């Protein structure tokens, strides 16, 4: 009987030690390993609306990373756009602009050509010649984005009703057929994306949005037309979203923030579903 009790005591001590070690390891390592790593590049120097968006985006993506188990880093050092640095990340985000340095551009193209993933917002697609951001990168604007140069925009930043053009894409599968987006400055492009066989238009502005914009200039108010706002390119794992311009009180010169891009749950669903697709290992859908 004494021998049996000794064995039982030893067994219980073993179980206790195992549980203690397991608890210790759990506390040491915390959350599970991230599913994938994301790096966001930004400038956040010009235009208060874009700066406001960048700061909000960094907060929102950091919170989303904790909830959805991916790693989110951000940097305003564009010299990090090189092969060695990018090798640590499965997804690259351009929050508010694009690289201008030829070596950085080459490194990004190589990254995408070899299976990298990318999400770009609003001003990341901008190019206008002549301007401080001329269209001097044909691969990016003509082939990768397919949109070519910027042509015009609505003003003031206002909400628009968006229509889902493709419900079969992972980024749009959880969206209703139409929904109201956050206030935004909407862009019009030189190229008609419907004519590009590589482009998958995922969302466009629904006709019920018109007139879109309030002016004061009449050409800043759209009354008709077809305007894609979210699309992908079948040759790459990428997603461009025209959202990314918060409303700012420029008129009264207060620079007060009047709207926030990430205060829209349906639109947020689009962004997080798109990002989770980009970070997945699924190569079958582009």
Would you state the pLDDT for residue 283? 56
User: Residue 62 in contact with residue 72, Cβ under 8 Å?
Assistant: yes
Cα 218 vs. chain centroid, distance in angstroms?
A: 31
Query: What is the Cα–Cα distance from 117 to 120, expressed in whole angstroms?
Result: 10
Return the pLDDT at 46.
85
Residue 157 phi/psi, 5° resolution? Answer: -60, 120
Alpha-carbon torsion (54, 81, 275, 228), positive or negative? positive
Angle between helices 265-279 and 48-68 (to 10 degrees): 60
DSSP state of 33: P
- For the chain (286 residues), the mean pLDDT of every run of 10, in chain order, is 43 42 39 90 95 98 98 98 98 98 98 98 98 97 98 97 97 98 98 98 98 96 98 98 97 95 98 98 58
pLDDT of residue 281: 79
Phi then psi for 22, rounded to 5 degrees?
A: -60, -45
Cα(239)–Cα(80) distance, integer angstroms: 21
Question: What pLDDT does residue 16 have?
Answer: 40
Beta bridge partners of 91: 38, 117
Whether residue 40 contacts residue 57, with contact meaning beta carbons closer than 8 Å, is answered with: yes
At 160 the three-state DSSP class reads: coil
What pLDDT score does 32 carry?
A: 75
DSSP SS3 for 92: strand
Domains, the chain, ordered by start? 34-279 (3.40.50.880)
């Amino acid at each position: 009987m004494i021998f049996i009790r000794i064995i039982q005591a030893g067994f219980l001590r073993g179980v206790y030690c195992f549980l203690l070690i397991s608890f210790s390891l759990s506390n040491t390592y915390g959350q599970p390993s991230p599913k994938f790593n994301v790096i966001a590049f930004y400038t956040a120097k010009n235009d208060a609306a874009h700066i406001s968006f960048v700061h909000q985006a960094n907060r929102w993506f950091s919170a989303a990373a904790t909830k959805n188990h991916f790693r989110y880093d951000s940097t305003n050092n564009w010299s990090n756009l090189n092969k060695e640095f990018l090798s640590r990340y499965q997804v690259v985000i351009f929050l508010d602009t694009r690289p201008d340095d030829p070596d950085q551009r080459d490194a990004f193209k190589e990254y995408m050509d070899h299976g990298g993933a990318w999400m770009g917002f609003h001003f990341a697609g901008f190019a206008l010649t002549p301007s401080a951001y001329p269209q001097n990168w044909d691969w990016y604007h003509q082939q990768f984005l397919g949109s070519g140069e910027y042509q015009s925009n609505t003003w003031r930043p206002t909400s628009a009703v968006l229509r889902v053009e493709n419900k079969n894409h992972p980024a749009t599968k959880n969206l209703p057929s139409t929904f109201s987006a956050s206030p935004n400055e909407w862009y019009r492009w030189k190229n008609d994306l419907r004519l590009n066989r590589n482009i998958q238009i995922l969302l466009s502005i629904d006709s019920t949005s018109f007139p879109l914009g309030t002016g004061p200039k009449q050409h800043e108010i759209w009354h008709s037309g077809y305007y894609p706002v979210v699309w992908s390119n079948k040759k790459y794992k990428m997603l461009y979203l025209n959202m990314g311009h918060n409303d700012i009180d420029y008129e009264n010169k207060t620079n007060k923030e009047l709207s926030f891009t990430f205060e829209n749950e349906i639109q947020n669903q689009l962004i997080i579903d798109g990002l989770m697709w980009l970070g997945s290992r699924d190569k079958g859908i582009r």
